[in-house]
Amino acid sequence: MRKKFLLLSLLPLGVSQLLFAQRYYLFVGSYNQDKSKAGIYIYRFNPGDGTVQAASAVSQVLNPAYLVPSADGHYLYACTEAQTPGAGSVTSYSFNPETGEAVWRSSQPAGGENPVYITEHNSRRWLAVANYTGGCAAVLPVKDGYIGKAAQVLVFRDSSLTDRQRSSHVHSAVLDPTHRFLLLPDLGADKIRCFSFDADNAQPLQPATPPFTATVPGSGPRHFTFHPRLPLAYCIEELSGMVSVYRYGNGRLDSLQRITAHYTRRKGDNYGGADIHTSPDGRFLYVSTRMDENIIVTYAIDPVSGLLRKIAHQSAGGNHPRNFVIDPTGRYLLVANQMSNNIVVFERNVQTGLLKRTGTELTMPAPSCLQIKAY
């Protein structure tokens, strides 16, 4: 026993925490289009072999487009009434890791139509939400899982080159590693907006300096992620099918690289860049593209510069890979294919970054978002 304790004490803190974690849960949102049908699915996830086991499902929720479990694991927050004309809400649930069940706790208007992304500030007192059709972002207070009315709604009225860009479409709301800044990729305006975030202020958001970074006209920035160690950030552009690499510091983005996220490039093709995540060790970046390709692209990340080198691409295992997630151990990558109504589990080689299908696959209507949390 003493030898075992000594061995565990020599492991990095994150690894030892994962070893002691008793449960992993996979949370799935879906575009159910009908409140009487299940909209959130909850599974127990086995990090040993990548298999899943159904735990529970939640109905009386309409089109949960994006989910995020709270940092303490006690609550689940969701963008709800997405893709619903004239509507949009944010909903919270209490989550019991003993039973795997989620119970409705509160709901508030999202501040705009079609909420598509939600995040929790590390103060645990605020939620930030991106409203795509409403062209706005909102921050809502939260306490003990109860969501209050929006304290601040920022509406943007910009446009850019294409028909999809006749108005602002804020597609994600991502806090930087310090949680001092909130970044808002605006697909409609070809801007990545940035606001300082003061959790002690009644209206937490103030424009940063500079207040936005302009992207290539017609690119349509969509989802955004930070490197886990280096001062770098990566953005997938939905309309161009490109990934942009930025050096990041105190709310400022400086462009370093722009690289394709597609396999073929033919005039008239549509690429539909969708989701983007780095591996937990920071060695690899993954991107999904939809439309004419439906692939997952793998990039190696230079350990010094953070620049990308494309090393592989492969089928997402379905149609329209809207969202994907890498589990906390880094061993598995799960893809939600919205149009083919399936979730595919890939094993991830942590040394090479390459993916292979495990054979585990889930079927459900229009999966929109995946999250995995260790308990």
Give the confidence band of 262 by pLDDT, cuts at 50, 70, 90.
confident
Report the pLDDT averaged over residues 164-180.
98
Residue 47 and residue 329 in contact, taking contact as beta carbons nearer than 8 Å: yes
How is residue 22 written in tokens? 């008793």
Give the Cα separation of 136 and 142 in Å (integer).
19
Give the Cα separation of 33 and 366 in Å (integer).
10
Residues in the chain: 375
* pLDDT value, residue 292: 85
Helices (H), ranges, 1-119: 2-9, 13-20
Which regions of 17-62 does DSSP assign to beta strands (E)? 24-30, 40-45, 52-58
* pLDDT value, residue 3: 35
* pLDDT value, residue 267: 60
Which has more pLDDT, 4 or 368? 368
User: Angle at the Cα of 296 (from 291 to 301), degrees rounded to 5?
Assistant: 135
Q: How far is CA 243 from CA 231, 270, 361, in A?
A: 17, 15, 28
HSE toward the beta carbon, residue 298, CA cutoff 13 A:
22
pLDDT, tens only, 204-250: 999 999 999 999 999 999 999 999 999 999 999 999 999 999 999 99
* pLDDT value, residue 263: 78
Q: Which of 124, 129, 41, 24 is nearest to 81 (CA)?
A: 129
Q: Is pLDDT above 60 for 100? A: yes
Q: Which of 212, 298, 213 is nearest to 261 (CA)?
A: 298
Give the confidence band of 7 by pLDDT, cuts at 50, 70, 90.
very low
pLDDT, tens only, 9-35: 444 455 445 444 589 999 999 999 999
Give the confidence band of 151 by pLDDT, cuts at 50, 70, 90.
very high
Residue 68 and residue 373 in contact, taking contact as beta carbons nearer than 8 Å: no
Mean pLDDT, the chain, whole residue set: 93
Scan for tokens 């086991």, then name that residue. 53
pLDDT, tens only, 287-303: 999 988 999 999 999 99
- Give per-residue burial for 60-86: e unless 16+ CB within 10 Å, then b: ebbbbbbbbbbeeebbbbbbbbbbbee
Q: What percent of the chain has pLDDT over 70?
A: 92
Largest distance between two CA atoms of the chain? 66
pTM of the model as a whole: 0.93
Report the pLDDT averaged over residues 253-258.
98
Give the Cα separation of 171 and 164 in Å (integer).
13
Report the pLDDT averaged over residues 91-102.
98
Give the Cα separation of 79 and 205 in Å (integer).
20
Q: Is pLDDT above 70 for 6? A: no
Give the Cα separation of 321 and 337 in Å (integer).
4
